[in-house]
C-alpha cells in the first residue's frame, strides 16, 4: 500500500535488544494515523515487545482523539511466535487485530487466522463469493480450519506446562553454547520467548555453520526462515546495532514440543567442533 502511494508509513527504531520504545510510538503518531502494527515476538531473536503497554498507550490517545472528533487508531499485532506460549488475551492487551500462522502451533501448514475486533472497519482485498462474512472470496478449507481450532484447544490446555519444559531446555542450551569463546546471546536476556535462542558467533559464517550442523543431523537457521534464501545481513540484527559482518555470523535455534534434553546435549557437544573448524578455515586478515 505504501509503494503504490495509498498510505504513509513510519518505521520505528529498536534498541540493542530489539525492543520498540513507547516514547517513539507516541512521537510517531500523526493526526491522520489510523493503524499501529507491532510484532508481538520477534521471530529471529525472540524478543517480546511491550504489547500491553502499547495497547494502553493507544487507548489513552484514542480517548483524546474521540473527544476532538478525530479518527480512531487501531492496534494490530503479529502473534505468530507468541500464540503458543504467551498471553494473547486481546481485551487485556488492548488489541484490535491479531494475526498468526497455524504451523507454529502444529496445525497444518497453510492455515492461519486474523482476529478482528467488532467495529473495526475492514475492506475485502479480493472480489468473488460472499464467504468469510463477505470479507474474503473462495471456498474455505474446512479440514484445516478444524485442525487449527483443535491445535488452539490443545495449546490452551498445555500452555503452562509446555512453556516451563521449553524454558528449561532453552536455558540448558544457552548455558552450553555461551561456554564457547567468541559467542554471545542476541536479544533481551530475560524478556524472551521461551523457544527461540539466537547467537552471534565470531569468526564463523552463518550459512557455513548450518551446512556443517546439518551434516551432523542438527537443524538450525541463520536469520529468519522468511529470508533464508537471501545473502544480505539480517535487517533485524542491523536494526539492533550489529555490524553486517556480525549479523552474517548469526545462528538461531528453535525449540519445540518434541525437543529433548538428549538433543540439547548433542548440540552443545557438536557446536564447538563446528565453530573451531570454520574458524580455522576463515581467511586471516593482514
Could you give the residue numbers annotated as active site?
A: 226
| E strand or H helix at 210 | helix 206-215
CB 180 within 8 A of CB 258: no
Nearest CA among 21, 28, 98, 19 for reference residue 61: 28
- The answer to whether residue 12 sits within a structural domain is no
pLDDT for 125 equals: 80
112 and 165, same domain (yes or no): no
Q: What are the cell numbers at 14?
A: 529498536
Distance between CA atoms of residues 145 and 49, nearest Å: 28
How far apart, in Å, are the Cα atoms of 198 and each of 114, 164, 193?
A: 28, 19, 11
Domain boundary among 149, 170, 189: 149
User: Chain centroid to CA 176: how far?
Assistant: 24
pLDDT for 226 equals: 45
What is the tens place of the pLDDT at every residue in 225-279?
A: 444 455 678 899 999 999 998 999 999 999 999 999 999 999 999 999 999 999 9
Domain boundary among 95, 124, 149: 149
CATH number of domain containing 270: 3.90.1150.10
What is the tens place of the pLDDT at every residue in 195-234?
A: 999 999 999 999 999 999 999 999 999 864 444 455 678 8
Say which residue, 92 or 122, is predicted with more confidence. Answer: 92
137 and 169, same domain (yes or no): no
pLDDT for 281 equals: 86
139 and 242, same domain (yes or no): no
CATH number of domain containing 102: 3.40.640.10
- The answer to whether residue 237 sits within a structural domain is yes
CB 126 within 8 A of CB 137: yes
How far apart, in Å, are the Cα atoms of 281 and each of 40, 215, 275, 277?
A: 39, 17, 10, 6
pLDDT for 69 equals: 60
CB 35 within 8 A of CB 69: no
Distance between CA atoms of residues 204 and 176, nearest Å: 18
What is the tens place of the pLDDT at every residue in 130-174?
A: 887 888 888 889 999 999 999 999 999 989 989 999 999 999 999
Distance between CA atoms of residues 44 and 173, nearest Å: 17
- The answer to whether residue 16 sits within a structural domain is no
CB 142 within 8 A of CB 149: no
Q: Which domain holds residue 174?
A: 158-281
- The answer to whether residue 3 sits within a structural domain is no
Q: What are the cell numbers at 103?
A: 504451523
Sequence-ordered list of residues with C-beta below 8 angstroms from that of 252, at least 6 positions apart, any chain: 44, 45, 196, 197, 198, 199, 220, 221, 222, 223, 224
Distance between CA atoms of residues 97 and 113, nearest Å: 10
pLDDT (average), residues 168-181: 97
Sequence-ordered list of residues with C-beta below 8 angstroms from that of 238, at least 6 positions apart, any chain: 244, 247
Say which residue, 65 or 265, is predicted with more confidence. Answer: 265
Nearest CA among 120, 1, 103, 93 for reference residue 38: 93
Domain boundary among 85, 114, 149: 149
- The answer to whether residue 5 sits within a structural domain is no
182 and 258, same domain (yes or no): yes
142 and 203, same domain (yes or no): no
pLDDT for 122 equals: 85
- The answer to whether residue 8 sits within a structural domain is no
Beta 183-186 vs 196-201: how paired, if at all?
A: antiparallel
55 and 173, same domain (yes or no): no
171 and 102, same domain (yes or no): no
- The answer to whether residue 9 sits within a structural domain is no
- The answer to whether residue 75 sits within a structural domain is yes
Q: What are the cell numbers at 262?
A: 538428549
Q: What percentage of the chain reaches a pLDDT higher than 70?
A: 94
187 and 169, same domain (yes or no): yes
75 and 121, same domain (yes or no): yes
55 and 137, same domain (yes or no): yes
The domain total for the chain is 2
Amino acid at each position: 500500500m505504501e509503494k503504490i502511494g495509498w498510505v504513509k508509513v513510519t518505521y520505528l527504531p529498536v534498541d540493542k535488544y530489539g525492543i520498540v520504545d513507547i516514547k517513539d510510538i507516541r512521537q510517531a503518531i500523526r493526526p491522520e494515523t489510523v493503524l499501529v502494527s507491532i510484532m508481538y515476538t520477534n521471530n529471529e531473536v525472540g524478543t517480546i515487545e511491550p504489547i500491553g503497554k502499547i495497547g494502553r498507550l493507544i487507548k489513552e490517545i484514542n480517548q483524546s482523539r474521540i473527544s476532538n472528533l478525530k479518527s480512531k487508531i487501531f492496534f494490530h499485532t503479529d502473534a505468530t511466535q507468541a500464540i503458543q506460549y504467551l498471553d494473547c488475551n486481546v481485551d487485556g492487551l488492548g488489541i484490535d487485530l491479531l494475526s498468526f500462522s497455524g504451523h507454529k502451533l502444529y496445525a497444518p501448514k497453510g492455515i492461519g487466522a486474523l482476529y478482528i475486533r467488532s467495529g473495526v472497519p475492514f475492506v475485502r482485498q479480493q472480489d468473488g463469493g460472499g464467504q468469510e462474512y463477505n470479507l474474503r472470496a473462495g471456498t474455505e478449507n474446512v479440514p484445516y480450519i478444524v485442525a487449527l481450532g483443535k491445535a488452539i484447544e490443545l495449546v490452551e490446555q498445555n500452555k503452562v506446562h509446555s512453556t516451563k519444559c521449553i524454558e528449561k531446555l532453552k536455558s540448558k542450551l544457552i548455558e552450553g553454547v555461551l561456554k564457547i569463546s567468541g559467542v554471545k546471546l542476541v536479544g533481551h536476556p530475560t524478556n524472551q520467548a521461551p523457544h527461540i535462542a539466537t547467537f552471534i558467533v565470531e569468526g564463523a559464517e552463518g550459512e557455513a555453520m548450518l551446512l556443517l550442523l546439518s551434516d551432523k543431523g542438527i537443524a538450525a537457521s541463520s536469520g529468519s526462515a522468511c529470508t533464508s534464501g537471501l545473502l544480505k545481513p539480517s535487517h533485524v540484527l542491523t536494526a539492533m546495532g550489529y555490524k553486517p559482518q556480525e549479523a552474517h555470523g548469526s545462528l538461531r535455534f528453535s525449540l519445540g514440543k518434541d525437543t529433548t534434553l538428549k538433543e540439547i546435549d548433542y548440540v552443545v557437544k557438536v557446536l564447538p567442533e563446528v565453530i573451531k573448524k570454520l574458524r580455522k578455515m576463515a581467511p586471516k586478515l593482514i
